[in-house]
Amino acid sequence: MSQYYFPIVFVVLLEILRLAQSHPFLFNSGNQQRRAQVEWKTPEDNWTAEAAPRSIYPLLQNQYNKHQLPPTNRYEIIEGDEDEQVLRRMHEAKQNATARTLFYSNKDESHLPPLLTKTIKYFNLQQVAYELETSVMSQVSCTACKAGAGLLQHYIRTGKSKEEIIKMIYQYCVNLKIQSARVCEGVSQLFGVEVIYVLKRITIGPDEICSFIIGDACGDIYNPYHEWEVEFPPVPKPDPRDLGLPKEAAPVFKVLHLSDTHFDPYYAEGSNADCNEPLCCRLTNGRPTTPNGAAGKWGDYRKCDTPKRTIDHMLNHIADTHADIDFIIWTGDLPPHDVWNQTKEENLNVLKETVKQMTEKFPGIPIFPALGNHESAPVNSFPPPYVQQVDSSIAWLYDELDVQWRRWLPASVSHTVRRGAFYSVLVRPGYRIISLNMNYCNNKNWWLLLNSTDPATELQWFIYELQSAEFAGEKVHVIGHIPPGHSDCLKVWSRNYYKIVSRFESTITAQFFGHTHFDEFEVFYDPHDLSRATSIAYIGPSVTPYNDLNPGYRIYYIDGDHDETTRLVVDHESWIMNLKEANLYDYPIWYKLYSTRAAYGMKGLRPADWDQLINNMTDSKELFDLYYKHYWKNSPVKPECDYECRKRILCDAKSGRSHDRKYFCEEVEAKIDESNKGWKDWLFSSISSSYVLYKKLF
């Protein structure tokens, strides 16, 4: 999720922003002497989707488990429920407790020298770092991006060596105290080589680069090198049918969704949790300066990932509480956020350790994984198949994924997993899961600047699989990591994906992603009729508390095997652990935060039902506040949400296509603006009336 190397590579220099104004060569080098551009063309790739073998034998055996759907009325505390009694006792103890909780923060406190704080505020570097971390971009990040890209390109064209450029990045990073010396060194070494390699081989300038990476906040600049369209077979689209509600008494599959575990093997209880680095709570962060700065036993709300004991506790709880789950979807991001300090060997060790853990906890249960953006080293680095140099190829990861994933997947997936970490499997007769590698839409993946045209031919293969499924009468669930409507997904890739979902809306009945760490969803619409919702993407909560979150997971109830099955999600539950209470009382409790139909009064979970929920939340702040509580997994440190925040979150829910918010969100934003305007008008009118009355009386 986090992209900490961007503030360093692009924003490392206060000097850059000064040079950007005084040296126009940063953006236009004119007739200056340049080093010759490296001639680079995409190597020929003869791979075809039709050549990939298909999974035709169901992986899941006959449905033996009988599941009961969550009640649709509000959850009530049952007398004798041990967990609820423990919670009551904890809350009673809390009322009488004199000790402070392990988490405390002062948002206004600065750990930087006053002069440097003022300087950084002037140049907005902290805002840039925050925006790049949260993927909520503005013109500030765009300016920094253009300055950084322009300077790097200038140094490359004037003959600076790779070593000189990397050293320059490191020195500015340290001198400006953007990060600690070790983070600066790690980032400059890990990412500098890749960035320089790519920038040497592209012909576009800073405007196009930053529009590509940042998106709408940097202008929608036409770039012919990154405009492409997938091809559809000449098969007419079936007429969409109105989806009825799944039968209430029909059999269902019970499915566990885990995402973003971010297991940190070096997490240390009592270490410094407030370290001013991208990842804290390790012995290398030193001792905490205050008692409140110590890392909790079960995790921490600050920039800390998940200790092994917490993952073990969660998996044991799931194995006991949900012993009847039929299968698991696992949507990636296994390693921690120490992106400056990662190696291929360490990331592979995390992969192997986590796969072993899952295999031991859930023996005999099928698991369907998807690849996250943190599995690579460096993070976000996923070169397409045409990059075959030993030091740059991604084969080291994909080959090992094939080995590890084959514990649950058939041999037929090896062909596509080793090519691009995507696959298709038949789960039950008439029911297929397709796992996509969403890193080929990741705009932090620098390799895509070379050529973003359907990397690894993944989307063309996706169309082939969906068309085959349509012919066979199969329903499909899509799983992946980065949601296609998220700002981290390339606009051109997302646009093509949206077309595919629209074309195969009768085949794709649900989508499942992770990456954001929040508990949320995205609705897809008919591109020609925004009043008609066509598909729904579920975005599962993270296991990691990084940051300001409670750990969580999802349980889905999916329409099962019967003659009239829709394969829709019938209902889902979100379960969390209150990290604050767990650390305070050393007693973690996992509990159901909510079930969807009961919480929001929804009749069903069809795309139209989710669209109606967005409309209801637009009109009702009370309903939105409930959603916001669930969005943050009931975190006690969640920020307040003003009307701009409300617009952003509801717009996210309407945006299954990235960097196109104006198209999807105009109506929602106008309604919220009007309601906010009405409140302001009422307040102004009241004050004015009071003033007039005062003048008359006195």
pLDDT at 25: 37
Number of helices (H), then strands (E), belonging to the chain: the values are 21, 14
Least confident of 37-51, 284-298, 566-580, 582-596: 37-51
Q: Where is pLDDT greater, at 138 or 531? A: 531
Instruction: Give SS3 for 471.
Output: helix
Rounded to whole angstroms, how far apart are CA atoms 379 and 278? Answer: 13
For residues 432-440, give the mean pLDDT. 98
CA dihedral in degrees (540, 546, 551, 555; nearest 10)?
Answer: 10
Q: Exposed, middle or buried, 302 (CB in 10 Å: 0-12/13-18/19+)? A: buried
Q: Where is pLDDT greater, at 11 or 573? A: 573
Rounded to whole angstroms, how far apart are CA atoms 21 and 16? Answer: 9
For residues 460-476, give the mean pLDDT. 98
pLDDT at 54: 79
Q: List, for residues 173-200, the tens digit of each pLDDT value.
A: 888 778 889 999 999 999 988 999 999 9
**CATH architecture, domain 252-267+305-673:** 4-Layer Sandwich (3.60)
Residue 420 pLDDT exceeds 70: yes
Residue 10 pLDDT exceeds 80: no
Q: Do 52 and 461 touch, CB atoms closer than 8 A?
A: yes
Q: Are strands 252-258 and 552-559 parallel, antiparallel or unpaired?
A: antiparallel
- Residues 6 or more apart whose CB falls under 8 angstroms from that of 118 comprise none
Residue 490 pLDDT exceeds 70: yes
- Alpha carbon separation from 381 to 131, 170, 239, 262, 590 (Å, rounded): 20, 20, 40, 17, 35
For residues 163-168, give the mean pLDDT. 92
Residue 52 pLDDT exceeds 90: no
For residues 339-357, give the mean pLDDT. 96
Q: Are strands 529-539 and 552-559 parallel, antiparallel or unpaired?
A: unpaired
Q: List, for residues 497-518, the tens digit of each pLDDT value.
A: 999 999 999 999 999 999 999 9
Grade residue 697 by pLDDT with cuts at 50, 70 and 90.
Answer: low
pLDDT at 686: 57
- Residues 6 or more apart whose CB falls under 8 angstroms from that of 574 comprise 519, 541, 552, 553, 554, 592, 593, 594, 630, 633
Q: List, for residues 99-110, the tens digit of each pLDDT value.
A: 333 333 333 434
Q: Could you tell me if residue 456 is left (phi over 0), alpha (psi between -120 and 50 degrees) or otherwise beta?
A: left
Residue 89 pLDDT exceeds 60: no
Q: Exposed, middle or buried, 12 (CB in 10 Å: 0-12/13-18/19+)? A: buried
Residue 484 pLDDT exceeds 50: yes
Least confident of 49-63, 295-309, 599-613: 49-63
Strands in 367-369's sheet, in edge-to-edge order, are 367-369, 327-330, 252-258, 552-559, 569-577, 590-595
Domain boundaries, the chain: 115-218, 252-267+305-673
Percent of the chain with pLDDT over 90: 66
Rounded to whole angstroms, how far apart are CA atoms 351 and 22? Answer: 48
Instruction: List, in sequence order, every beta strand (DSSP E) within 307-393.
Output: 327-330, 367-369
Q: List, for residues 531-561, the tens digit of each pLDDT value.
A: 999 999 999 999 999 999 999 999 999 999 9
User: Which residues are part of a known binding site for Zn(2+)?
Assistant: 260, 262, 333, 373, 481, 515, 517
Tally the C-alpha atoms within 13 A of residue 143's C-alpha that lie toward its C-beta.
Answer: 16
Q: Do 650 and 614 touch, CB atoms closer than 8 A?
A: yes
User: Which residues are part of a known binding site?
Assistant: 260, 262, 333, 373, 481, 515, 517
Q: Do 632 and 645 touch, CB atoms closer than 8 A?
A: no
Grade residue 75 by pLDDT with cuts at 50, 70 and 90.
Answer: very low
Grade residue 134 by pLDDT with cuts at 50, 70 and 90.
Answer: low
Percent of the chain with pLDDT over 70: 81
pLDDT at 202: 92
Q: What rounded mean pLDDT belongs to the chain?
A: 85
Q: Do 273 and 286 touch, CB atoms closer than 8 A?
A: no
